[in-house]
Structure 1
């Protein structure tokens, strides 16, 4: 295949982003079997999620500036190669520590998510980028819906290692697709890496960037709390089997896809912050109603997962628009903005995952999970209101 010379098609961006998401959640139903196979505690095996998220945060801090200096294409290709090789390492691992080591290396796949966002911002104006990113996110959102179900089915049929075989195959496939279709999109590179890093403080001083970033982080933080606490809720309160649990974990994506579809339709006509605020209100109202019903003794499976759908819808109105907003604060630093915001998202996700695992017990599971989601949604709403305040009182600041 010939190396790509033109900008990537949307399908390539979708697949690259989807693989990054799939690497996070497809193996979740297999955690108990992995622990049993390696004769390890569940808390140690859970590092394959929490540790992976922490390393992903660090990698995004590096990948963003590297892609701003050297281009999106070389960073993406190198990252996909590392992911494919690390997946093979997970398949062959004979001890928990070897498995965890290669699992951490799989974090390189996060480049697909970071650089796809940056490439879209490279190719389109702010409004068009939000619309395109909405459609990309909607399509790739099938990954968190189907991932746990696919992972659970593979585990039952072939064992947990089969999921990592699939990771290796998908990683190689995305590597080949990117080689042939992902031409360079960053044409505003600095002359040297030192010059690139000297421009980084411009981003750190931009208050809108931080407002958008924390809105994005707390929005997705609610999702992390859900996927961490839902297995215990399902087991302790609803007696759901692994297959139905996979459906339950994936169901939040239904609302997410609808929200992204609305973003794709409206982003060219409605201000970004207006769509974000609408999404934040939906993400607050859903878990608030769900928690109220549980406290009133009316809690049920549909109530718990229905609250998650509302959060997913709110995130669908938020993620693409907030991502576009933070990359538009300093367009020549779009990769750095995408990487830094991604690191914030993942770091907060790791905290939310750890905190939810620590606070949730079989007795309080649905109450605590919904409370954590609600608090996270309130924080995201506050960050969105801060951006709105900046738009009103300092409309010309940080918009270059």
Structure 2
């Protein structure tokens, strides 16, 4: 028994890192089919309740800039265990909340689970040489595509069967299970802790001065922004315009992730032949035109949920073509600052997503909500397209290194 409960001393298995990444993603979108039900039950405005997504993303953006350096200073294991434990306790608070402010307060605390995504990458870098790390991160990345696809479906089914609070009780169970698994399998991998918490932040000014870094950041922020616009507005639009049940809404919301998976497959096969800039531009065109075509079809009388979600599939497909190259590009601007570039661009992307999802969630609560949502997705994707063209120009001016 003592051996079974002893803390881990060896590096974790890949499945542990996959599950930690998955729970981070599930916490973002699994409950979204229930937003309308939460607003009604807590007698709150939908726009206010949508802060459960936008505010969560904003808090995660701040944490993403802190968790990495903190784990460099005191170790991956204690930061991971603390983050998962806070998530499990905060989920209890969400499940028991009787007013919207209590619910939102505990929901903000839930963002501590973003430690699973941030530190899983750091753990892999600790354990492996660069080529092997890239392979393992690719395996873990598959969970990031599957979890958004399955999360809303699971959440919608739970809502219909047991009510919206069942989603948060499910989070409690997930958090407890991941805490036990991390205790048993996640040994410390940071064998050379940094001397100072502030070391990483001193490298940021060099990135701030690099125009190419900002070009890639624009692509990332507005590409992912289309996805977050969809998450912020789809629950309201689907219920008000199409009368979908939570289960059907969950299936529909998973459609954007299905497109994302297809785009990733194409990107993996064609990057070497076409290059990342061409794929980024192609992806932004898909993501811009798709919602516009859906808007036109609905305006002409084809007001069917399949048409609406088809527009979202194009956004997912475009992001699958765009994001692998954009993420690689942002870390290639200054290779010796790849970690800082990853953390800073990730925080900017989450902050942008928080603003976009909150704004869209507040704007779609009217008779023209479906057009507002599809239009927002098209506009953000178009801004990403402009960023992709600008980034391509900057890459052509870049000296060979």
- State the TM-score, normalizing by the size of structure 2: 0.86
Deviates further, 244-253 or 153-162: 153-162
CA contact (8 A) 1:133 1:264 kept: no
Q: Which residue of the partner structure matches residue 261 of structure 2? A: 257
CA contact (8 A) 1:223 1:373 kept: yes
- Matching of residues 235-384 of structure 1 within 5 Å: 235-267=239-271, 271-331=275-335, 333-384=337-388
1:227-268 CA distance string (max 9 Å, x none): 222233323433322221111111111111112233344556
| Counterpart among 141, 144, 147 of residue 143 in structure 1 | 147
RMSD: 3.0
| Counterpart among 372, 381, 395 of residue 391 in structure 1 | 395
1:341-381 CA distance string (max 9 Å, x none): 22212221122122213332443222222211111111112
State how far apart, in whole Å, the 2-side matches of 1:189 and 1:109 are: 22
Structure 2 spans left out of the alignment, 5+ residues: 1-5
Q: Which residue of the partner structure matches residue 118 of structure 2? A: 114
Q: 1:120 to 1:341 in 2, by over 3 A?
A: farther
After the TM superposition, which parts of structure 1 deviate over 6 Å for at least 4 consecutive aligned residues?
A: none
**DSSP-derived class of the 1:199 partner:** helix
| Counterpart among 66, 91, 100 of residue 95 in structure 2 | 91
TM-aligned CA deviation for residue 170 of structure 1:
1.2
1:152-179 CA distance string (max 9 Å, x none): 2222322322211211221232333344
Q: 1:100 to 1:70 in 2, by over 3 A?
A: same
Structure 1 spans left out of the alignment, 5+ residues: none
1:23-57 CA distance string (max 9 Å, x none): 11111222333334434443433332222222122
Q: How many residues align?
A: 395
Kindly indicate whether residue 18 of structure 2 is the aligned counterpart of residue 11 of structure 1.
no
**DSSP-derived class of the 2:199 partner:** helix
CA contact (8 A) 1:255 1:313 kept: yes
| Counterpart among 133, 151, 157 of residue 153 in structure 1 | 157
Q: Which residue of the partner structure matches residue 202 of structure 1? A: 206
State how far apart, in whole Å, the 2-side matches of 1:380 and 1:184 are: 39
Kindly indicate whether residue 38 of structure 2 is the aligned counterpart of residue 34 of structure 1.
yes
Deviates further, 330-339 or 273-282: 330-339
TM-aligned CA deviation for residue 4 of structure 1:
4.8
TM-aligned CA deviation for residue 138 of structure 1:
3.3
TM-aligned CA deviation for residue 9 of structure 1:
4.6
1:170-206 CA distance string (max 9 Å, x none): 1232333344444556677643224333233233333
1:266-294 CA distance string (max 9 Å, x none): 55666433433332222123223223333
Q: Which residue of the partner structure matches residue 168 of structure 1? A: 172
**DSSP-derived class of the 1:193 partner:** coil
TM-aligned CA deviation for residue 63 of structure 1:
1.9
CA contact (8 A) 2:35 2:235 kept: no
TM-aligned CA deviation for residue 208 of structure 1:
2.9
Q: 1:36 to 1:373 in 2, by over 3 A?
A: closer
Q: Which residue of the partner structure matches residue 218 of structure 2? A: 214
State how far apart, in whole Å, the 2-side matches of 1:176 and 1:269 are: 45
Deviates further, 163-172 or 190-199: 190-199
